[in-house]
Amino acid sequence: MTSIAICAPATSLTRERARETAALAAAEFPDVTLHFHEQCFLSDGHFAGSDSARLEAFVECANDPAMDALWFARGGYGGNRIAEQAISRLGDAAKKKVFLGYSDSGYLLAALYRAGVGRPVHGPMVVDGSRERGEGAIRRALAFLSGDMSGLEPSLDGQPAAAFNLITLAMLSGTDLMPDLAGHVVMLEEVSEHLYAVDRLFFHVTQNLRDCAGIRLGRISAVPENDRDFGQTAEEIAQYWCERNDLPYLGRADIGHDADNKIVPFGLAQGASRP
């Protein structure tokens, strides 16, 4: 049996999305039980409840010894506001847990990795079920949380790795949440940003990651139309800034804001299902 706690440190989930995810899990993963924290459905301005409500739900889920994993319901924005306090309150049960999410969840995954608490993992969230072919993302997440490693990002090898949304990593740099990524393969993806913004983000992150093992580029999707063409593709941008900063560009990564988003355990992929 695998017991999975679900909370929403950023923005809220619909009850319909929770029901559909629970139905898929019941039909296809009989050994998995999903526990949606009521906080998932709260709303307060931009967020799934106040900072305090999101913090308490995350800490409760992370510290629950009956739960094997904490699965992020959804990104959006907000995990950074509660991450520092959350980490300071985690106990032994959190150290044995897998934490699965991406995008805005990167703030908490980063903070957990920095603190050496549990097993932070980049991968699909509950909300991804609403995407086209989104059931594939949900199956990949539930299979991974059940111990099936077939959804791992295919380039993962013997080197430690981490995966981030590009602007999330840029905002983390220099803060108290930023983990040491020396020697790591860092995979980066982005959505809904102009290419000039992607360029300035690569300017920033390549200079802030100079001791990492190299960069892999995930998908840069839903780039808005601009009044002029940028003149370089997303991959040319990544290669340009890696070269300028003597950082190996290692090729593409199979991650992104889409249903095909693969799983990247932070650190070494071996033994990823349990810390």
Which residue ranges make up the site for its own copies (CB under 8 A)? 43-47, 76-77, 80-81, 167, 170-176, 195-196, 199-201, 203-204, 207-208, 226, 228-232
Least distance in Å: CB of 162 to its own copies?
Answer: 17
Report the distance separating Cα 236 and Cα 233, nearest Å.
Answer: 5
Which residues, including other chains, have CB under 8 Å from residue 179's CB and lie 6 or more apart?
Answer: 110, 111, 113, 114, 162, 266
Least distance in Å: CB of 11 to its own copies?
Answer: 9
The residue assigned the tokens 């889409």 is: 258
Q: Residue 10, class by beta-carbon neighbours within 10 Å (0-12 exposed, 13-18 middle, 19+ buried)?
A: buried
Q: Whose Cβ is closer to its own copies: residue 12's or residue 63's?
A: 12
Q: Whose Cβ is closer to its own copies: residue 40's or residue 98's?
A: 40
Q: Whose Cβ is closer to its own copies: residue 29's or residue 72's?
A: 72
Least distance in Å: CB of 146 to its own copies?
Answer: 34
Phi, psi torsion values for 77, nearest 5 degrees: -170, 140
DSSP 221-232: ESPPP-SS--SS
Least distance in Å: CB of 77 to its own copies?
Answer: 4
Q: Whose Cβ is closer to its own copies: residue 90's or residue 171's?
A: 171
Q: Whose Cβ is closer to its own copies: residue 117's or residue 166's?
A: 166
Measured CA to CA in angstroms, residue 165 lies from 58, 70, 107, 192, 203 at distances of 21, 19, 10, 11, 15
Least distance in Å: CB of 234 to its own copies?
Answer: 14
The residue assigned the tokens 């050994």 is: 31
Q: Which DSSP symbol is given to 14?
A: P
